[in-house]
Amino acid sequence: ASQNLSEEFAKAAGQLKKEAPRIQFGKMDVTHHHDLRKEFNVQQFPTVKLFVNGSRNNPIDCTGVRQASAFITWVKRRTGPSTVLINSTAQAEALINAEDLAVIGFFKELDNGSVGVFCEAARDVPEMPFGMTASKDVRDSYGIHRDTLVVFKKGKPVHKEVLEDSRQSKLDLTRLIKTFTLDLVTEYNLETSVKIFDVPVESHILLFTPAKSEAFGVIYENYTAAAVEFRGKMLFVLVDTSEPRNGRVLEYFHIREVDVPAVRILNLSSDAKYKMPASEVTVENLKAFCHSYLSGKAKLHLSSEEIPEDWDKRPVKVLVGKNFNKIVF
Looking up residue 227, the CATH number of its domain turns out to be 3.40.30.10
Residue 202 confidence (pLDDT): 94
Confirm whether 196 is domain-assigned: no
Domain that holds residue 236: 202-295
Q: pLDDT tens, position by position, for the chain (329 residues)? A: 567 778 888 888 888 888 888 888 888 888 888 888 888 888 877 888 889 888 888 888 888 788 888 888 888 888 888 999 999 999 999 999 999 999 999 999 998 889 999 999 999 999 899 999 999 999 999 999 999 999 999 999 999 999 986 567 888 999 999 999 999 999 999 889 988 988 999 999 999 999 999 999 999 999 999 999 999 999 999 999 999 999 999 999 989 888 999 999 999 998 899 999 999 999 999 999 999 999 999 988 866 566 777 878 888 887 766 666 666 65
Adjacent-strand bridge partners of 264: 206, 275
308 close to 318: Cβ distance less than 8 angstroms: yes
Domain assignment present for 191:
no
**Using an 8 Å Cβ cutoff, are 207 and 167 in contact?**
no
Candidates 142, 137, 155, 253; CA nearest to 205 is 253
Report the DSSP beta bridge partners of residue 208: 239, 262
Q: Are residues 230 and 174 in the same domain?
A: no
In a domain, 134, yes or no: yes
**Residue 281 shares a structural domain with residue 311:** no
Q: What is the pLDDT of residue 132?
A: 97
In this structure, are 17 and 99 located in the same domain?
Answer: no
- From CA 142, how far away is CA 122, in angstroms rounded? 21
pLDDT score, position 278? 92
* Same-domain pairing of 235 and 265: yes
Number of domains in the chain: 4
Instruction: Evaluate whether residue 192 is within a structural domain.
Output: no
Is there a domain that residue 226 lies in?
A: yes
Distance CA(69)–CA(71), nearest Å, equals 5
Whole-number pLDDT of residue 263: 97
Q: Interhelix angle for 113-123 vs 170-179, to 10°? A: 50
In this structure, are 215 and 280 located in the same domain?
Answer: yes
Same domain, 21 and 63: yes
Encoded amino acid at 210, one letter = P
pLDDT at 303: 63
Other CB atoms within 10 Å distance of the CB of residue 192: 15
Let me know if residue 197 belongs to a domain. no
Question: Rounded distance, CA 171 to CA 177, Å?
Answer: 10
Q: Are 305 and 321 in contact (CB under 8 A)?
A: yes
* Amino acid 80: pLDDT: 86
